[in-house]
Amino acid sequence: MAVQAYILIRTENGKAYHVKKELEFIPGVKQVNRVMGPFDIITLVEAENTKQIGENILRDIQAVNGIRRTLTCPVI
Q: What is the pLDDT of residue 68?
A: 97
Q: Could you give the CA distance from residue 26 to residue 61 in angstroms, rounded to a whole number?
A: 7
Q: What is the pLDDT of residue 33?
A: 98
Q: What is the mean pLDDT of residues 11-31?
A: 97
What percent of the chain shows pLDDT beyond 90?
92
Q: Which domains does the chain have, with CATH numbers?
A: 3-74 (3.30.70.920)
Name the 3-class secondary structure at 5: strand
Does residue 1 surpass a pLDDT of 90? no
Strand ranges (E), 1-76: 3-11, 29-34, 41-47, 67-74
Q: What is the pLDDT of residue 48?
A: 95
pLDDT band per the 50, 70, 90 thresholds, residue 44: very high
